[in-house]
Amino acid sequence: MLLSEFFYGLLSRDQSRLLGDGAFRAISELNLEPDNRLEFLLQGYDEAWNALNSLQMLPSLTMKLQVSELLMAWFGILSCVQAEFFTSVGHMTDLIYAEKDLVQSLKEYILVEEAKLAKIKSWASKMEALTSKSAADPEGYVAHPVNAYKLVKRLNTDWPALENLVLQDSAAGFIANLSVQRQFFPTDEDESGAAKALMRLQDTYKLDPGMISRGELPGTKYQAVLSVDDCFGMGRSAYNEGDYYHTVLWMEQVLKQLDAGEEATVAKSEVLDYLSYAVFQLGDLHRALELTRRLVSLDPSHERAGGNLRYFERLLEEERRNPLSNQTEASLAAQEGVYDRPLDYLPEREVYESLCRGEGVKLTPRRQKRLFCRYHHGNRAPELLIAPFKEEDEWDSPHIVRYYDVMSDEEIERVKELAKPKLARATVRDPKTGVLTVASYRVSKSSWLEEDDDPVVARVNRRMQYITGLTVKTAEMLQVANYGMGGQYEPHFDFSRRPFDSGLKTEGNRLATFLNYNHERDAFKRLGTGNRVATFLNYMSDVEAGGATVFPDLGAALWPKKGTAVFWYNLLRSGEGDYRTRHAACPVLVGCKWVSNKWFHERGQEFLRPCGSTEVD
């Protein structure tokens, strides 16, 4: 049994790192016995390396380095989960290396094919010259005994050899590599998720499809454009989700690019088929009829166009007979071919997205005068007396502060290195069942690091304790998150909501809060550490565009700055939730966003943050 076959058997569809056949080939050359193979793969990195050295199977330093790199990749494979690449830019980088490996494999196949074809061409030229001479005088040619012998030999030996050469399958290596890699390729879910991400960015940052198609995004380093077929794929993804608003926008972009003369595999009639039905679903009967007529003129034999045309004409005739009863608000609004974006489940959608764009921030001059910066020594904590942290007020009430130079570049890279193999799709807790589940409003991957995982984690934990003056003994593990394409976390609370007390005097629409969360379970009851009293959020990367942390109720927007951290209390001193801290992570427009956070809990903070005298302190 080949080691590559054995190793491949250990992998499941739930593992997302990618291997080329070059990796399989390299490890196969080690000729490990079956018992040693399992040890080689499942031992820790250091033990496996020592085992390899003891077996004296690595004759050169170069080979040792190659195997070292392979080991790092393989242990990543053993601990990662597959699919949902779109939820983490960090994991999407693996696809770059997979594609590079496939290109190299394809080039090797082309070279082999070209060499084979060159041999066949040479043989054909040689035979053409020979047969033109022999066919001119067949009897005279074979009268020479050498020619007669060579003719027999060619037909008995040489032509069958050529047949074997032609039938030789030089694509086997490439196909094998592609087949292995395909097991870990993005899925239909990934493609749909990536399309939704682009549409999310389109809506949040008010980008029209033309801008996205031309790649005109702020902060981009690379030029990237969408072809006609790419735009059609966007429209079709929206159509398959029943999202007719975005279907119309993207199919219209397809028509624009087709009319501009761009080449495409998709036919205009197919685009008109999708577009006509989508505008009909949006209530624009007149335009649906017009587009269907265009479709029939382009393709009179289209299987649906004729039936749709008659149906639309009948509806239009009914509308003319009863103009007031049949003309809906949607059809009136859509008469000029401009359609409103449908409302969704998030009541503060408009406020949230405007803050993400940097609009509507309520940082008035009066409020700004109450914001200061200072050196922070954590209530004269001995560890911070000599080297206090720079602290800057981001908001006055509730008090939100930013600390500078909290994590060094080296610490950030180490935390990312520890977290990446453990990254898995971030989950949310179902408010009614308490069960963790994935959700479309949280698009990222996260992992949890324990203090014992690495000295850097322990050092960062202690630093957060010194800065906040809160104990980390009852805090949650350090969560590390990497946001994917259009990565976001829509408005949410960090603390567990309890049934609303109508007697509590606070600002805002508390009726909505009561209706949404009246039946929510106490998410942290089983921990025995109380509710999440505070959030400490480390920004571990700069983001070229987008990715702000916003507070819709406050009108506040905080932008990521690598090495800084923001801190706020989720609970009032009474232990009641501060509903003003409802916040969101805006979609990442351009860049790769890494954050880590520590959630402090109530238990253990009784004397570090004493209760207030009223329930709203």
Place of tokens 């053993």: 78
Confidence of residue 219 (pLDDT cuts 50, 70, 90): confident
DSSP states of 454-480: -HHHHHHHHHHHHHH---STTSPPEEE
For 107, phi then psi, to 5°, come to -65, -40
Please tell me the predicted confidence (pLDDT) of residue 224: 87
Taking residues 3-23, report their average pLDDT. 38
pLDDT, tens only, 413-429: 999 999 999 998 877 66
The token duo for 389 is 């942290």
Place of tokens 């000029």: 336
Return the closest-CA partner of residue 370 out of 397, 405, 346, 331. 397
pLDDT, tens only, 100-140: 988 999 999 999 999 999 999 999 999 999 999 999 999 88
Return the closest-CA partner of residue 30 out of 7, 57, 6. 57
Q: Which long-range contacts (CB under 8 A, 24 or more apart) does 335-339 make?
A: 335/284, 335/286, 337/279, 337/284, 337/287, 339/245, 339/248, 339/279, 339/282, 339/284
In degrees, rounded to 5, the angle at the alpha carbon of residue 255 between the alpha carbons of residues 250 and 256 is: 95
Please tell me the predicted confidence (pLDDT) of residue 269: 95
H or E segment at 306? helix 305-321
Higher pLDDT, 62 or 431: 431
C-beta atoms surrounding 426 within 10 Å: 24
Return the closest-CA partner of residue 408 out of 387, 379, 422. 387
Rounded CA-CA distance 37/135 in Å is 63
Place of tokens 């009909």: 280
pLDDT at residue 519 is higher than 60:
no
Rounded CA-CA distance 592/88 in Å is 9
pLDDT at residue 329 is higher than 70:
no
Rounded CA-CA distance 13/75 in Å is 16
Higher pLDDT, 126 or 69: 126
Please report, rounded to a whole number, the percentage of residues in the chain having pLDDT higher than 90: 53
Rounded CA-CA distance 226/213 in Å is 5
For 491, phi then psi, to 5°, come to -50, 130
Regarding pTM above 0.85, the answer is no
Please tell me the predicted confidence (pLDDT) of residue 518: 45
- CA distances in angstroms from 317 to 12, 289, 314, 328, listed in the order given: 58, 12, 5, 15
Rounded CA-CA distance 493/550 in Å is 12
Rounded CA-CA distance 97/472 in Å is 39
pLDDT at residue 42 is higher than 60:
no
The token duo for 6 is 């054995």
Give start and end residues of each alpha helix (H) in 437-586.
455-468, 510-517
Place of tokens 């980390």: 472
The token duo for 240 is 């398959």
Question: For all residues of the chain together, what is the average pLDDT?
Answer: 81
Higher pLDDT, 333 or 24: 333
pLDDT at residue 36 is higher than 90:
no
Place of tokens 């998150």: 481
The token duo for 544 is 């070229």
Rounded CA-CA distance 322/342 in Å is 27
Lowest mean pLDDT among 187-196, 237-246, 249-258: 187-196
The token duo for 554 is 């406050």
- For the chain, the maximum distance between any two Cα atoms, rounded to a whole number of angstroms, is 121
Q: Residue 302: what residue type?
A: H
Could you tell me which residues come within 8 angstroms of residue 229 by beta carbon, excluding any fewer than 6 positions away? 264, 265, 266
Rounded CA-CA distance 64/52 in Å is 9
Q: Residue 612: what residue type?
A: G
Lowest mean pLDDT among 274-288, 417-431, 514-528: 514-528
Rounded CA-CA distance 98/182 in Å is 10
List 549's β-bridge partners, or say none: 558, 585
For 604, phi then psi, to 5°, come to 90, -10
Please tell me the predicted confidence (pLDDT) of residue 83: 54
C-beta atoms surrounding 310 within 10 Å: 11
Taking residues 85-110, report their average pLDDT. 83
Rounded CA-CA distance 186/95 in Å is 9
The token duo for 241 is 């989700």
Rounded CA-CA distance 151/128 in Å is 14
Q: Are 275 and 245 in contact (CB under 8 A)?
A: no
pLDDT at residue 462 is higher than 60:
yes
pLDDT, tens only, 250-265: 999 999 999 999 999 9
Q: Residue 215: what residue type?
A: G
Rounded CA-CA distance 61/84 in Å is 37
Higher pLDDT, 187 or 30: 187
